[in-house]
Structure 1
Amino acid sequence: MPVIKILPHPEYCPQGAEVSAPAGTSICEALLDNHINIEHACDLSCACTTCHVVVREGFQSLNEMDENEEDLLDRAWGLESNSRLSCQAILAQSNVTVEIPKYSINHAKENH
């Protein structure tokens, strides 16, 4: 089972974290299942950018981006070449390291 290493984030996981999830799980689902309450305003439907993460290690092991995700990422705060929407980034067998950006374009936090 791949491991997701989450770098420290002042709100979501101040000390950082490591979680395991089965291959075929999205990064967002894995974080939420492990009580790391990353924003996900569109309920994982690839309609916003609030679940944006930067994949620091293991980017190539994730599924390929589709055109819709690429278009949405253009609006994400702190976009980098290894950015993904965590609701669309599907784990394979390799471990990944992600960083949750400090800011999001979400103007109102959801209580999911």
Structure 2
Amino acid sequence: MPIIKILPHAEYCPQGAEISAPAGTSICEALLENNIHIEHACDMSCACTTCHVIVREGMASLNALDENEEDLLDRAWGLEPNSRLSCQAFLAQKDLLVEIPKYTINHAKENH
């Protein structure tokens, strides 16, 4: 099973984390299943950018971006060339290093 290393994020995992998930699992699903409560306002239907992540290592092992994801990423805060929507990025056999950006464009976030 591939390992996902998550860089520290003040809200979601202050100490960083290292989790594993089976190939074919989305990064978003893997994070949520391991109690890293990344935002996913559209319930992982590729209709928002709240689950945006930056893949620091292992990008080439993920599935290719489709046109819908690519269009949505243009609206993500802190977009970088190695940005993905975590609900659309599916694990293969390689390990990943992932950063959750500090902000999202979710104006309706709960508890704030």
Q: Name the residue aligned to 1:67.
A: 67
Equivalent runs, 1:93-112 vs 2, <5 Å = 93-110=93-110
Deviation of 1:110 after TM superposition, in Å, equals 4.5
**1:44 lines up with 2:44 in the alignment:** yes
- In structure 2, what is the equivalent of residue 86 of structure 1? 86
Structure 2 counterpart of 1:62, one-letter code: L
Question: 1:85-110 CA distances to partner (integer Å, 9 max, x unpaired)?
Answer: 00000000000010000000001224
Identity of aligned residues (%): 83
Between the aligned partners of 1:43 and 1:50, the Cα distance in structure 2 is 10
1:58 aligns with 2:61: no
1:41–1:110: 8 Å Cα contact kept in structure 2? no
The normalised TM-score by structure 1 is: 0.97
Count of equivalent residues: 111
TM-score, normalization by structure 2? 0.97
Structure 2 residue identity aligned to 1:66: D
Structure 2 SS opposite 1:37: coil
The CA distance in 2 between the partners of 1:49 and 1:93, in whole Å, is 25
Query: Residue type matched to 2:24 in 1?
Result: G
Distance in 2, matches of 1:9 and 1:102, equals 7
Unpaired segments ≥5 residues, structure 2: none
Unmatched 5+ residue regions in structure 1?
A: none
